[in-house]
């Protein structure tokens, strides 16, 4: 496990963010929040309420991480579930669907998640911002049981 992953995301790190049509408005709020916290945000779309296919946007974020354009990712769709499933098809991705700050924190602390997936139809903007703040301020606990379990997931 790389030492960089064990620490919390750092100010100045690049975060790739994308949403489908259901998450466009929330994406704008989360991007603004992350920029305010000192992160560099790459917006990979969509920017319209017109219907799109969420796997295309999950792939864009996963590819940005795998290609080292970003260290972290945020995906937003109606439930967060579809985006999370699509992103997790990539070996280097550990996307976690979070419904609040605690689930986001635990996804970093125990599971070393590198992508946060949110459901715009399930949580409001303030809960989503709290989840993002918790996700991006929590280090991976590592050591013993957590590191052993994450290693069984494969990937990087």
Active site residues: 77, 110
Residues contacting 29, CB < 8 A, separation 6+: 125, 128, 129
Burial class (CB in 10 A: 0-12, 13-18, 19+), 44: buried
DSSP label of 21: G
18 Ramachandran zone, left/alpha/beta (phi>0; psi -120 to 50): beta
Q: Does residue 121 contact residue 127 with C-beta atoms inside 8 Å?
A: no
43 preceded by a cis bond (ω within 30 of 0): no
Residues contacting 124, CB < 8 A, separation 6+: none
């Amino acid at each position: 496990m790389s030492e960089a992953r064990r620490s919390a995301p750092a100010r100045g790190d690049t975060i790739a963010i994308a949403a489908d049509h259901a998450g466009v408005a929330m994406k704008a709020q989360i991007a603004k929040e992350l920029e305010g916290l000192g992160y560099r945000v790459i917006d990979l779309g969509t920017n319209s309420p017109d219907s799109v296919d969420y796997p295309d946007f999950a792939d864009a974020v996963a590819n940005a991480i795998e290609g080292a354009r970003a260290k972290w990712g945020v995906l937003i769709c109606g439930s967060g579930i579809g985006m999370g499933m699509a992103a997790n098809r990539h070996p280097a991705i550990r996307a976690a669907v979070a419904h609040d700050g605690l689930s986001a924190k635990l996804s970093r602390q125990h599971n070393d998640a590198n992508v946060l997936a949110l459901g715009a139809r399930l949580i409001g903007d303030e809960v989503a911002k709290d989840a993002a703040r918790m996700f991006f301020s929590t280090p991976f606990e590592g050591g013993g049981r957590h590191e052993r379990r994450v290693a069984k997931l494969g990937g990087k």
